[in-house]
Amino acid sequence: MPATSHGRVLPPGTARRAPGPSGSVSVDVMRIHVVDHPLVAHKLTTLRDKRTDSPTFRRLADELVTLLAYEATRDVRTEQVDIETPVTATTGVRLSHPRPLVVPILRAGLGMLDGMVRLLPTAEVGFMGMVRNEETYAAHTYATRMPDDLSGRQVYVVDPMLATGGTLVAAIRELIKRGADDVTAICLLAAPEGVAVMEKELAGTPVTVVTAAVDERLNEARYIVPGLGDAGDRMYGTA
């Protein structure tokens, strides 16, 4: 399997498709990174379990996001700074400007926001409200709140389930239209069908997907199998 042991994303063209629970896939410029770590697998298993209640689900999703975000921000832009320690002058790095933007896709992406900003406290936060039409499965945007001009910005878009790919494709197109030049989607789970749609629809764009697992397939209702059910319902107890 072409994944590196510590979950590094491989450069485009060096990885083969590696379906299954872990590994890295790189196609054109879109990169899929499955974070291969026992803590990630452990938390994901508890999220999948239908006996896990909403408070526990929210806490685990939050913890899982932080682990995924650690890998997803491996290429976050930094600049050099001069500082003085109590002992001597030295140089270090800090996050550079413009600040990264974190965009949760409402509703379920909200449950991933705290985990993201815990790691990136200086990030700006935008919001996109999207629903899928349950008959056509097409994504529809009902609210957007973020800067019009995203030129030169790194954007982290968070949505727990990459199922058909329709929502993320629409969201990422909007971000790129506003000038974002580096977009990373962080998803708890992905379906191979959704990954294929993203690869096709976003080919040639600077997009990376980071996820805890690529599952088997979508079912006829477009739920991920084995999946974890409806992420929003599980988070907010509306099942």
Residue with tokens 């600049």: 79
Task: Please give the helix or strand (H or E) that residue 200 lies within, else none.
Answer: helix 192-201
In the complex, the smallest distance separating the C-beta of residue 94 from ligand URA, rounded to whole angstroms, is 36
- Type of residue numbered 148: D
Q: Is 73 a catalytic residue?
A: no
Using CB under 6 A, which of the segments 17-25, 68-76, 175-183, 223-231 binds ligand URA? 223-231
Nearer Cβ to ligand URA (84/134): 134
Question: Of these residues, 17, 74, 132, 173, which one is catalytic?
Answer: 132
Active-site annotation holds for 99: no
In the region spanning residues 156 to 175, those forming contacts with ligand URA, defined by CB under 6 A, are: 161, 163
Cβ at position 95, least distance to ligand URA in Å: 31
- What's the DSSP call for residue 10? P
- Catalytic-residue membership of 136: yes
82 is catalytic: no
Q: Binding of ligand URA at residue 224 (CB under 6 A)?
A: yes
Nearest residue (CB) to ligand URA, 15 versus 213: 213
61 binds ligand URA (CB under 6 A): no
The DSSP-derived string for 22-38 is: SEEEEETTEEEEE---H
Report yes or no: 48 and 61 within 8 Å, Cβ to Cβ: no
Nearest CA-CA partner of 159 in 132, 133, 181: 132
47/120 with CB nearer ligand URA: 47
The residues that bridge with 141 in the sheet, in sequence order, are 130
Residue of the chain from 70, 127, 137, 223 that contacts ligand URA (CB under 6 A): 223
Q: Cα separation of 112 and 159, whole Å?
A: 8
Look up residue 1 and give its two tokens: 């399997």
Q: Is 227 in the site for ligand URA (CB under 6 A)?
A: yes
Handedness of CA 57, 59, 62, 67 (dihedral sign): negative
Residues labelled catalytic: 132, 136, 230, 233
- In the complex, which residues of this chain contact ligand URA (CB under 6 A)? 161, 163, 223-224, 227, 230-232
